[in-house]
Structure 1
Amino acid sequence: QHTIPTNAQQPSAGIRRQVAIARKRAIVQAGPGNPKPLQGRLHSDVQTELYLEELSDVITTTDIECQTDDFIDRPRTPLYIPTKSGKDAETQIEDGELFDFDSEVQPVLEFLVGKTIEQSLLEVLEEEELATLRAQQRAFRELRNNELAEVQRLQEQERRRKEEKERRVAQQRERLRMEKETIEKITARVFSQQYLAGLLPAVFSSLRRDGFFYDPVERDIEMDFLPWLMAEVHSRLEERNSMRSLLDTMISEVSGKNLKEWKDQETQPARSTP
């Protein structure tokens, strides 16, 4: 065990710097390490500080130990007892000197009975007051119900009056609308009659001239009978023409054949004559 003197010198700045450099070197050596140098080359340490210093591998170290005393528990605080002061005195009280039950219980009993009677009277008065309040509430409730019924009756009467008014107004509007519509119809009818008085003959004559008004028999003859008749005549004429052309063809063929035979007969005697 070594003791540390109070006037021990603090390490200088150079020693602290050397310790820091050695610590860094130990950290670097404890790490994964640098790769091995190539053949013909060596690793060297280089200082990177601003000022170069001489490095020393030997670092002066000193082991110092100290020992502290064990902690002692604090003793329990003693109970505070004030210092006794004054003098002790005593006295003797005999029976009947402070309280006589037979003579002093009567006012207490009278007080209790009076309080009980007073409380009973208060409770009776309270019950009567509550009964009066209930009666007043009942009367007020009946009055309010009557007023509500009267209000509902008046509201219902007002509602019926309003509905009747709206119905009468709607009927009046409908009547006015129907009158207006009737007047418009009458006016339109009179105007149409006046307008169509000279228009109908002109329209009928124009339609009759354009062929919209016709005699059914005449129209049936024109539309049905005449086309059928023309078709039949055309078909008969075509048949006759085809028969004539066929007959002409047969006649021409027979004539040509007879002419050829006649020519052949004429040429045969001429050949047999020499």
Structure 2
Amino acid sequence: MASAPHNHREPSGTYTFSSRPRAVETRSKFKEAPDEQTHSSYGNIMYDRRVVRGNTYAHHIIPTTAQPDPAELQRQQHIRRRAVALKRAQEQSRPKTPEAVQGRKHTDVQTDLYLEELSDVIVTTDIECQTDAFLDRPASPLFIPAKSGKDAATQIEEGELFDFDREVQPVLEVLVGKTIEQSLLEVMEEEELAYLKAQQKAFQELRNIELAEVQRLQEQERRHSEEKERRIAQQKAVLEKERETAEKIAARAYTQQYLADLLPAAFTSLRNHGYFYDPVERDIETSFLPWLMNEVNNSLEKRCAARQLLDNIIYDVAQKRLEEFNDLETQPDESDV
């Protein structure tokens, strides 16, 4: 049976590589190793240690030629130890999955929101070529090289390359085992999801009870605080009224004490300034005395007018008599002449 890989070129011009399938020696994650030994060793490559699953970026190590600094190495080790300790503390504080039921085992199930696909980016280059539209193409090739050497052929009989019945057994066992394992995982996952839903339901009921109790306590605390504030406001109002009453009593006593000597002094001052008077005296002063003065003034004015008139009459009479006397004195002199 041929076991070496074969390279052959297809008519299209590309090279292909083919080799016989080989089983990988491994041990199942949850199943125990079988007791019976078969003539060929095979297993599931999903649990092979040489197969890397997940993100492989962290496995890349960049070689360095320069000698690292001891302080830098110590700092990196400290950071690494700190990250490991933090991760261990997070794992310890993280709620763990409850133990599996009897006869069952837990398995890892991917619960991420997205799948990460790893692929190598192949560098490609676009090249264009324009053929002349008026280039004449011959109907037949211009040059056909002659044969060199002899033609040879090889006949491969049935069973020489591989035994189908033998080689297909590990593949079928892997497929069947993978299918059964996936089915068991799905069943266990459904049971675990049902158990988790029951736990979530119980937790939700307990949470609702606790929320109701919290709301009741909050409402009770709110009522107590409102009652306390109302009592404080009432006490403040009572104290304010008592303070206002005491201030009013003190103000009244001070006012009475201050006005005890103020009233007589005020009345005396008002009396001295004429605000308090005798009505008869005030009537005499305001009505009778002005009228009397007017009458006296009128009488005096009349007397003065009469005296002035009498003086004028006397003056006129005296002037007339003087004129007559003067005339009498001048008349004899004229007669003598």
Q: Structure 2 length as normaliser, TM-score?
A: 0.42
Question: 1:15-43, CA deviations, whole angstroms, 9 ceiling, x for partnerless residues?
Answer: xxxxxxxxxxxxxxxxxxxxxxxxxxxxx
1:176 lines up with 2:242 in the alignment: yes
For CA contacts below 8 A with separation 6 or more, give which structure has more relative contact order: 1
Question: 1:157-183, CA deviations, whole angstroms, 9 ceiling, x for partnerless residues?
Answer: 232222233123224313532553465
1:120 lines up with 2:186 in the alignment: yes
Shift of 1:97: 2.5
Paired residues for 1:60-75 under 5 Å: none
Paired residues for 1:27-38 under 5 Å: none
Rounded to whole Å, the distance in 1 between the matches of 2:155 and 2:309 is: 186
Q: Which runs of 5+ in 1 are unaligned?
A: 1-89
Equivalent residue for 1:139? Answer: 205
Residue-pair matches, total: 182
Where has structure 1 moved over 4 Å in runs of 4 or more? 90-93, 185-193, 199-212
What is the DSSP-based 3-state SS (H/G/I as helix, E as strand, rest coil) of the residue aligned with 1:100? Answer: helix
Shift of 1:263: 1.5
Rounded to whole Å, the distance in 1 between the matches of 2:258 and 2:204 is: 79
Shift of 1:242: 3.6
In the alignment, which of 149, 155, 177 is matched to residue 111 of structure 1? 177
Equivalent residue for 2:301? Answer: 238
The code of the aligned residue for 1:252 comes to: Y
Paired residues for 1:71-220 under 5 Å: 94-95=158-159, 97-100=162-165, 104=169, 106-181=172-247, 183-184=249-250, 187-188=253-254, 191=257, 195=260, 211-220=274-283
Rounded to whole Å, the distance in 2 between the matches of 1:164 and 1:121 is: 63
Rounded to whole Å, the distance in 2 between the matches of 1:93 and 1:235 is: 181
Q: Structure 1 length as normaliser, TM-score?
A: 0.50
Shift of 1:185: 5.8
Q: Which structure has the bigger radius of gyration?
A: 1
Shift of 1:117: 0.8
- Identity among equivalent positions (%) equals 35
Rounded to whole Å, the distance in 2 between the matches of 1:93 and 1:137 is: 69
Question: 1:46-69, CA deviations, whole angstroms, 9 ceiling, x for partnerless residues?
Answer: xxxxxxxxxxxxxxxxxxxxxxxx
Rounded to whole Å, the distance in 2 between the matches of 1:266 and 1:216 is: 73
Structure having the higher helix fraction is 1
Shift of 1:124: 1.0
The code of the aligned residue for 1:217 comes to: V
Q: After the TM superposition, which of the residue ranges 121-130 and 94-103 deviates more from structure 2?
A: 94-103
Cα 1:213/1:112, change in 2 over 3 Å: same
Rounded to whole Å, the distance in 2 between the matches of 1:219 and 1:140 is: 102
What is the DSSP-based 3-state SS (H/G/I as helix, E as strand, rest coil) of the residue aligned with 1:213? Answer: coil
Cα 1:256/1:144, change in 2 over 3 Å: farther
Rounded to whole Å, the distance in 1 between the matches of 2:188 and 2:197 is: 14
Rounded to whole Å, the distance in 1 between the matches of 2:283 and 2:180 is: 136
Shift of 1:256: 1.1
Equivalent residue for 1:273? Answer: 336
The code of the aligned residue for 2:226 comes to: R
Shift of 1:145: 2.8
1:249 lines up with 2:312 in the alignment: yes
Cα 1:145/1:236, change in 2 over 3 Å: farther
Equivalent residue for 1:39? Answer: none
Cα 1:132/1:263, change in 2 over 3 Å: same
Cα 1:243/1:126, change in 2 over 3 Å: farther
